């Protein structure tokens, strides 16, 4: 599904802030991988690169058997829209849109007709236990409800690859457990999942865990 080959990412801050330094990782189709690492170690940066939202400073990225470095932004966003569901650490919900409209948005960009968008958003929201909040706007939601809305939005396109940045970070342990079960179910359906977590208990249940250390990725 994804191959990171000697990926380096340097942000143009001061003399340059190198966050990823020769990072290598292969994630096979259908794998479920947890990413662990301290705050500021580059986990979100790496997930954004894996999900074609950001480009590495150097190194090669193979995505779904395609070398993607040479693709332009439009090609990248088409590939991303078709294959990737993103759950952002800070949700990225559109404040003016209702919960249902937020979840419909990726389908809108794919040109799915309105009636189908409604129906698929309704299903995705039911999956995350948000059926009773479809008409709310994000500011009227609790943190956990925003998180679940963001997850429904990631699922609504039925992506082959789900990238989740601390999806349980804002939830109590019971709701967090529900989200983990939801991700487990998606994995059982054959989807590839990469999840960042700070929670060692959750990480311990995952089939594979990778740690970021000094800008590099280490198994285990
Ligand atoms: N766009 C940016 N420009 C400059 N520096 C950035 C940018 N994005 C992130 N950084 C810096 O890069 C480092 C890694 O950030 P990143 O968000 O990847 O960390 P993280 O491992 O996800 O941390 P956390 O667990 O707190 O979410 C941080 O020190 C951050 O300040
Ligand atoms: Mg982060």
Per-residue pLDDT of the chain (220 residues; tens, 9 = 90+): 999 999 999 999 999 999 999 999 999 999 999 999 999 999 999 999 999 999 999 999 999 999 999 999 999 998 999 899 999 888 899 999 999 999 999 999 989 999 999 999 999 999 888 999 999 999 999 988 998 999 999 999 999 999 999 988 877 888 788 888 888 988 999 999 999 998 888 899 999 999 999 999 999 8
Question: Residues enclosing ligand 1, CB less than 6 A?
Answer: 11, 13, 17, 19, 37, 39-45, 89
Contact (CB, 8 A) for 7 and 23 = yes
Beta bridge partners of 33: 194, 208
Distance 149 CA to ligand 1 centre (A): 24
Q: Which atom of ligand 1 is nearest to the CA of 43?
A: 21
Q: How far is residue 121's CA from residue 138's CA, in Å, rounded to a whole number?
A: 15
Contact (CB, 8 A) for 168 and 197 = yes
Ligand 1, atom 26: closest residue by C-alpha: 39
Give how far Cα 183 sits from Cα of 96, 114, 186, Å: 28, 27, 5
Relative to the alpha carbon of 164, which ligand is closest? Answer: 2
DSSP letter string, 171-190: S-HHHHHHHHHHHHHHHHTT
pTM exceeds 0.85, yes or no: yes
Token duo for residue 95: 């404040």
Query: Domains of the chain by range and CATH?
Result: 2-219 (3.40.50.300)
């Amino acid at each position: 599904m994804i191959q990171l080959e000697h990926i380096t990412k340097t942000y143009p801050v001061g003399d340059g802030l190198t966050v990823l330094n020769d990072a290598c990782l292969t994630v096979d189709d259908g794998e479920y991988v947890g990413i662990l690492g301290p705050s500021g170690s580059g986990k979100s940066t790496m997930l954004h690169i894996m999900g074609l939202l950001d480009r590495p400073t150097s190194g090669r990225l193979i995505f779904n058997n395609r070398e993607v470095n040479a693709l332009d932004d439009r090609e990248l966003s088409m590939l991303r829209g078709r294959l990737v569901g993103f759950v952002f650490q800070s949700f990225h919900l559109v404040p003016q849109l209702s919960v249902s409209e937020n979840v419909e948005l990726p389908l809108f960009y794919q040109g799915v007709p309105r009636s189908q968008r409604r129906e698929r958003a309704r299903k995705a929201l039911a999956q995350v236990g948000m059926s009773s909040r479809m008409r709310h706007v994000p500011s009227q939601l609790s943190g956990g409800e925003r998180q679940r809305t963001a997850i429904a939005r990631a699922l609504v396109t039925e992506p082959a690859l789900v990238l989740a940045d601390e999806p349980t970070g804002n939830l109590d342990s019971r709701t967090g457990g529900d989200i983990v079960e939801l991700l487990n179910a998606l994995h059982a359906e054959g989807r590839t999942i990469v999840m960042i977590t700070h929670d060692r208990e959750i990480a311990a249940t995952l089939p594979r865990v990778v740690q970021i250390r000094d800008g590099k990725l280490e198994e285990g």
